[in-house]
Amino acid sequence: MSEALPSFPKAPLKQEGRACFFKDVRFWCILCLLLLLGIGIRFHNLTDVLVGGNFYFVDADCYSRMSRAQQVSESPGTVIRHQDFENWPEGVESHATAPMDYAIVFLERVLRVAWPEIGRLAVLKKSTLDLAGALVSPLLGMLLCGFLAAWSAGYGASSSPWRCAWWVVPLLAALSPPLVHATVFGRPDHQSLLLLFLAIALGAEQRLQAVPSNGWAWTGGMAWGAALWVSLYEPAVLLGVVLLLGIWPWRSSWTLAYRSRWALGMLALIGCGWLVDGIHFVLPDSHWKDVLQRWGSTIGELQAHEDLGVFSAWTGFLVWIAPVWLLWLVRRQGRLVCGWLLLWLILAGLAFWQARWSPYFVLGFILCLPLIFSTLGSSVRIGGSFLLSLYPVFADWEHRCFPEAATIEQRYLERSERINARLAAERMRSPERLPFLAVWWYSPALAYWSGQPAVAGSGHEGIAGIVDSARFFLATEPAVAQEILQRRNVRVVVASDSARAVENSAAILGQLPSEKPLAEKLWGADSNRVWGLEGETNVTTFRLLRVPQ
């Protein structure tokens, strides 16, 4: 007869076993090496983010977050429910919540005290808020790797081969491109905080399925509640899937007592979020539906993946073997594995549908690694097969770190454009309120650097401002442009690359201009006065034009 396979899921360590691995010097040495690897990779874009002592964040949404953090830093205790620095003058009821705002401000307060005042690093002492915004996601990424390492090292019995191969979980968390992008240097986005909470919530779910405990019940429930406080989109979808899978009859390992503690922990955090932020769904009016779809088609993270090969670059070759392996485990070790297989496949479908789901797919895959390797009887087999499967991940990082000449040139042009955008914003700084109109993808950055409110923004709640910006740059009649300027009380128009402005505006509005649009006229070499707008003519990238009052 063949040797019986170990049952799954395996019970967590007993108390003395758990204390043993925390006292293991090898564990801490390997963990430190993995964290150094992870933090180093997350700084691969350092020369793009930190240029000439100034910070240039990765996404437009990051500048909206930093504008919120700036207000909180100037008035501690503030909770921002309404943002008036975009969609001027109406503003927006943003979906952003306080936890990420205060994570940035807390780190900024620490840096004020801890950052050196002498030496080469002292030049950043006056930019502690920007520095905190740039550092917060890599630090959260390291907390994510640290949690996954502890969760993985405490998995299974002390005699299990997995006890010597726990490092595969934090290694993939440190290397996987989607997780790196979500927690990269210069990206103060709530996604990094969300991934940490969801990792804890889903990790606790696995523990509770194996051997329920009060500690994991409270931890899992509070992690779900914190994730729902940060965002009501991805956590709500994942929680719905988990609860749906939880009604299966073979998911009977939870008793009513553990379920009640889990629910109380979650409701406690949701209640805190409701009291602090007043959590609510922010949905635009129905008549913006078609416009939102067209606008979303211009945003990279909302695009579908056309090549299945990206899954290999995210997790390695093992991603193609894992479903078959898990199905085999369903037959050999019980149907409990089926729930995690279905959860992971749902995340794969979501990641293929929209790029924004790719970090959550990778997280689900990472949490399935102990299941996938549960049948290998040797830690050498686990480690060796895992490292060999990572070849596509290493190849992807090789292309990222050593790009082609065309990619280097494109990065240089984008860096120069960001620098010029900042110079234009500094020219708008004034104690007087000067609302401005610019293309939507640069509006949050210009608003943050200048301190002036923008008509457009980068959030769906401000779609009305985005549409007005597109209509303005695509206008062929002076009356259309003047009506927008008057209704929005615009004082400054920021003209930029007319080709991209026309292309993006046409995509949003779903129509092409019948003649030369305003965006091209404002950018013409001899445009010292167009439709009453006049101003700078001797700049190369961004031009400020005054609106007559």
Rounded-to-integer distance, Cα 237 and Cα 234, Å: 5
> pLDDT class for 335, splitting at 50, 70, 90?
low
Q: What is the pTM of this model?
A: 0.92
DSSP string across 77-92: T----EE-SSSTTT-E
pLDDT surpassing 50 at residue 5: no
Q: One-letter amino acid identity for 533? A: L
Q: What is the pLDDT of residues 196-220, one digit of tens each?
A: 999 999 999 888 877 778 889 999 9
C-alpha 150 chain-centroid distance? 23
Domains recognised in the chain with CATH numbers: 15-401 (no CATH), 418-546 (3.40.50)
Rounded-to-integer distance, Cα 313 and Cα 244, Å: 30
Mapped onto helix, strand or coil, the DSSP state of residue 308 is coil
Write b or e for each residue in 193-202: b if 16 or more Cβ atoms lie within 10 A of its Cβ, otherwise e.
bbbbbbbbbb
Q: What share of the chain is helix, strand, coil (3-state, %, to 5)?
A: 65, 5, 30
DSSP 530: E
Half-sphere exposure of 16 (CA within 13 A, CB side): 0
Please state, in angstroms and as integers, the Cα–Cα distance from residue 54 to each residue in 58, 85, 422, 450, 543, following that order. Answer: 13, 22, 9, 14, 21
Confirm if 444 and 67 have CB atoms less than 8 A apart.
Answer: yes
Rounded-to-integer distance, Cα 488 and Cα 152, Å: 54
Q: What is the pLDDT of residues 340-362, one digit of tens each?
A: 888 889 999 999 999 999 999 99
Please state, in angstroms and as integers, the Cα–Cα distance from residue 139 to each residue in 171, 182, 185, 192, 411, following that order. Answer: 16, 12, 9, 9, 25
Query: What region does 543 belong to: left with phi over 0, alpha with psi -120 to 50, or beta?
Result: beta
pLDDT surpassing 90 at residue 330: no
Q: Which of 43-52, 161-170, 309-318 has the lowest mean pLDDT?
A: 161-170
Query: What are the phi and psi torsion angles at 545 (to 5°)?
Result: -125, 130
Confirm if 464 and 86 have CB atoms less than 8 A apart.
Answer: no
Mean pLDDT of 391-417: 92
Rounded-to-integer distance, Cα 170 and Cα 146, Å: 7
pLDDT reported for residue 165: 83
Strands 436-437 and 92-93, sheet pairing? unpaired
pLDDT surpassing 80 at residue 411: yes
pLDDT surpassing 60 at residue 153: yes
C-alpha triplet 386, 41, 114: angle, nearest 5°: 130
Mapped onto helix, strand or coil, the DSSP state of residue 218 is helix
Q: What is the pLDDT of residues 446-466, one digit of tens each?
A: 999 999 999 999 988 889 999
